[in-house]
């Protein structure tokens, strides 16, 4: 067991910290720096993480992160979460209005 599995590290695009690793079947290949939405323990939010399959990928991610290349993507990732919360608020407001009319 485990011979066909490998662990891929994921790095949070907002804080740049290593996130929860994901175990994949060997041969399950995405493009380089594939993004996946995961829960970041540091940010305490669901946010896109960049998949790093090897040390070179990690170095490249860190360089891009330092240059701020993920800033926009991180914001987008967060606004998506905040929008869905706003939407929930709107629903709650609507039920309040119903009681008044």
Kindly list the residues in this chain that would bind Zn ion in the complex (CB under 5 A).
12, 14-15, 40, 42-43
Q: Shortest approach of Zn ion to residue 59 CB, angstroms?
A: 19
Cα gap 21→38, rounded to integer Å: 10
Q: Shortest approach of Zn ion to residue 74 CB, angstroms?
A: 9
Of residues 74, 72, 69, the one with CA closest to residue 42: 74
CB of 47 or CB of 57, closer to Zn ion: 47
Which residues fall within 8 angstroms of residue 94, CB to CB, at 6 or more apart?
Answer: none
Q: Shortest approach of Zn ion to residue 70 CB, angstroms?
A: 11
CB of 11 or CB of 57, closer to Zn ion: 11
Q: Which residue is nearest to Zn ion (CB)?
A: 12
Q: Say if CB 25 and CB 4 are below 8 A apart.
A: yes
């Amino acid at each position: 067991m485990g011979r066909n599995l490998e662990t891929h590290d994921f790095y949070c695009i907002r804080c740049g910290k290593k996130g929860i690793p994901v175990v994949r079947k060997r041969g399950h290949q995405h493009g380089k720096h594939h993004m996946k939405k995961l829960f970041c323990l540091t940010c305490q939010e669901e946010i896109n993480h960049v998949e790093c399959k090897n040390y070179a990928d990690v170095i490249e991610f860190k360089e891009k992160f330092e240059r701020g290349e993920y800033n926009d993507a991180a914001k987008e990732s967060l606004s998506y979460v905040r929008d869905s919360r706003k939407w929930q608020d709107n629903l709650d407001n609507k039920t309040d209005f119903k009681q008044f009319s």
